[in-house]
Amino acid sequence: MIIGIDFDNTIADYTGVFYRVGCALGWLPESVGQSKNEVKQYFIDQDNEARWTELQGIVYGKEITQARPYPGVLAAMQRLYAQGHRLTIVSHKTKYPIIGERVDFHNAATQWLLSHGFIGSADAPVDPDLVFFNETKVQKVARISQLKCDVFIDDLPDILTHSDFPAQCHGVLFAPNALQGFSGPQINHWQALDAWLCSLLN
């Protein structure tokens, strides 16, 4: 099978990173919750979404090294590759931030994938030529279709339910905190993917 996987918040775990970077910059009080959504909501409540946009640019750029792979994701992808599946990473990611220092997000994410063993090593599960960063969600969905993915794993329901999402592709939601109201299949941790794929193949 051809299995496509999203990057941000699916492979790369930013838990606590937005909080730590925001506090270090003096943009957040320490009393704010540590999740990405709580940090985002703080800036919205302060009527300062521009600062939130700038913080995203810093985290997804020069501070991406603080992100960690989700537990079990590399091992799961290596198992799939060893079983003969073709893996591709398809991400919605602009090349440069809207606000702030002009850092190449695509290069930063590629270096992260290299440093954590997802590409560029003997046992890496993904060919570097099968890593795609797309400027818009529409382009991302079109890429999933072009690659003829049989399965696509993403943390965003709006990708999996997009009107142009290919009908033949099985969309799987990656949701560490189970998401209510999503009718399709979802996994809460990477160790659960094997069992779901077995049920699909059988």
Q: CATH number of the domain at 72, please.
A: 3.40.50.1000
Identify the bridge partners of residue 170 per DSSP, sorted by sequence position. Answer: 151
Please tell me the number of Cα atoms within 13 Å of 132 on its side-chain side: 19
pTM of the model: 0.94
Question: Same structural domain for residues 83 and 137?
Answer: yes
Note whether 158 and 175 are same-domain residues: yes
Out of 49, 65, 81, pick the residue that ends a domain.
65
Q: Which residues contact 196 (CB under 8 A, 6 or more apart)?
A: 172, 185, 187
Same domain, 152 and 184: yes
Whether residues 79 and 48 share a domain: the answer is no
**Based on the domain organization, do 93 and 51 belong to the same domain?**
no
Express each pLDDT in 10-65 by its tens digit.
999 999 999 999 999 999 999 998 889 899 999 999 999 999 999 999 999 999 99
Kindly state whether residues 105 and 195 are assigned to the same domain.
yes
**Residue carrying structure tokens 């099978």:** 1
Q: Is 99 in the same domain as 195?
A: yes
**Together in a domain, 125 and 41:** no
Q: Are residues 148 and 107 both part of a single domain? A: yes
Contact 182, 155 (CB under 8 A): no
Both 118 and 23 in one domain: the answer is no
Q: Per-residue pLDDT tens for 109-158?
A: 999 999 999 999 999 999 999 999 999 999 999 999 999 999 999 999 99
Contact present, 77 and 12 (Cβ < 8 Å): no
Scanning the chain, the segments in alpha helix (DSSP H) are 17-24, 36-45, 49-60, 73-82, 105-115, 137-146, 157-160, 193-201
**Same domain, residue pair 54 and 149:** no
| Boundaries of domain holding 9 | 2-13+68-200
Please state the domain count of the chain. 2
